[in-house]
Structure formats: structure tokens, C-alpha cells
Amino acid sequence: MQPDLLPDVIAIDGPAASGKSTIGLMLAQRLGYLCLDTGSMYRALTLAAILKGISPDNENDITRLASDCDLAIIPLSGETDGRHYTVMLNGVDVTWDLRSPQVDAAVSQVSTYPGVRSRMVERQRAVGRRGRVVMIGRDIGTVVMPDAGLKLYITASPEERARRRLIDRVRQGNDDEYQSILADVVRRDQMDGSRVLSPMRPAVDAITIDTTGRSAEVVIEEIMSILNLNHFQPEGRA
């Protein structure tokens, strides 16, 4: 693939904590693309429901909230606290609140509701239509952007994913335990993979990359060679 034939949309799907957000952001930075992590949208809606005291079982109120809440995802502009982007919910920076165990516990339930998904997918496609975007999620290659020029499915063993998430959590100042993180990862994979609407699964034309025991840098080099871009630098970079 030549640089001028770069896919306009790169879809990255995969299970919980598989490293897809880290890899997606690094890839977007290498290519000079926008990065949209769609999980943050479902997480922000879940947080909005928690803050309003709406139960995750209350499909009607949560669906209404999906249309009403003011959600913005803003690319990095020099922040150095390890965030990949900034998420604003009703004008408040909630970037780190999205990663709480309370949000982990409810997000997969909230993400099953058809009215929620249609609202989110509509917003995601609007970003996708602008092009030059790496979009990360569970159903990007299958449902949101089925025409994406490159589809990747990033996986790792559940134990490795739980270990990586534990490191993230400790860095963020939380004192979670490996066993409870592993249980949450396995539970969410089960719910996300078995829901009726847009279940998590690789698209038939996706390339699956198992990242167990491999660093993000090594995985990025693999993706760059899939793109035939081993020596590619985006415009404006040395």
C-alpha cells in the first residue's frame, strides 16, 4: 500500500483492555489521523446516568439521556497526565472518571440498548465521514464503518489484559486488585460478545493481531508493515 493509498478509515476492534486504545492513538499520531475511541462515548453516557441516579436497568431514561447529554471528545493539546484525549460531559472534564469501577460495572448493560447504540453510531459515522480517522471500539468494522479500508482486531489473553489494566489503574492512583479486574474483563467480554445487537466480533475481512507478550511499539511496526509504510512520516514531521 502506498502512502497516497492510505485507508481513509482504520477500524480497530477487540475485547476489554486489549491495548486497542493505546495502539489506535499511536497509529493515529504516526499517520496524522484523528483518533476516536468510541468506548469513551458509552462510558460517558454511563457516567451521566450514574451522576443522575438513573439505574443501568432503566432503558427508557438512559435512551433519553443519550440524546440529551452534551458530550464532546477533544484531541490532546499538550496534557501530560497520560490521557489519550479529553472527554467533556455537560461542560465538565470527566476524562478520568470514565475509568472508575462503577462505570466498568454498568457500561456493558447500557451499551446493549438499541436507542443508545443508534444515537452513538450516528455520531461516530459523522466523524468517520470526515475521513483520516482511526476509530476504536467493538463494532466498528462490522457495523459502524463496514467499508473501512483497514480493519484490525486486537486481542490478548485475559490474564495479560487484566495485568495491563491493573498497571493503568495503579498509575491513576487507584488500588484495584488483579482478580477483580480479571473478573470484570471476562464479564464484559461475555456481555459484549453475546448481546443481540452489534455483538463484539472480528469483521470477516479483519486482520487479527494477538498482542500477548508484545509491546505496543512492536505491534505498531506490524501494522505499519501491513500498510506498507515502514518508513512513512506524515507531512510536517521530521
Q: Which residues, in sequence order, are CB contacts of 217 under 8 Å at separation 6+?
A: 26
Q: Which of 24, 25, 38, 47 binds ligand CDP (CB under 6 A)?
A: 38
Residue number, 43 or 169, with CB nearest to ligand CDP: 43
Q: What is the pattern of x (binds ligand CDP, CB under 6 A) and - over residues 54-93? A: ----------------------------------------
Give the nearest distance from C-beta 168 to ligand CDP in angstroms.
Answer: 9
Q: What is the pattern of x (binds ligand CDP, CB under 6 A) and - over residues 122-141? A: ---------------xxx--
Interface with ligand CDP, residue 108, by CB under 6 A: yes
Q: Which of 22, 111, 142, 155 binds ligand CDP (CB under 6 A)?
A: 111
Dihedral of CA 222/226/227/232: which sign?
A: positive
Site residue total, ligand CDP (CB under 6 A): 15
Q: Which residues, in sequence order, are CB contacts of 230 under 8 Å at separation 6+?
A: 221, 224
Give the nearest distance from C-beta 151 to ligand CDP in angstroms.
Answer: 13
Report the alpha-carbon distance of residue 34 to residue 8 in Å, rounded. Answer: 11
Give the nearest distance from C-beta 108 to ligand CDP in angstroms.
Answer: 4
Q: Which of 107, 148, 203, 223 binds ligand CDP (CB under 6 A)?
A: 107
Strand 85-89 relative to strand 71-75, pairing: antiparallel
Report the alpha-carbon distance of residue 29 to residue 194 in Å, rounded. Answer: 33
Q: Which residues, in sequence order, are CB contacts of 55 under 8 Å at separation 6+?
A: 49
Q: Which residues, in sequence order, are CB contacts of 235 under 8 Å at separation 6+?
A: 32
Report the alpha-carbon distance of residue 175 to residue 108 in Å, rounded. Answer: 23
Interface with ligand CDP, residue 188, by CB under 6 A: yes
Interface with ligand CDP, residue 169, by CB under 6 A: no
Interface with ligand CDP, residue 16, by CB under 6 A: yes
Q: Residue 89 half-sphere exposure, CB side, CA atoms within 13 Å?
A: 22
Residues in touch with ligand CDP (CB under 6 A): 16-17, 21, 38-39, 42-43, 107-108, 111, 137-139, 188, 192
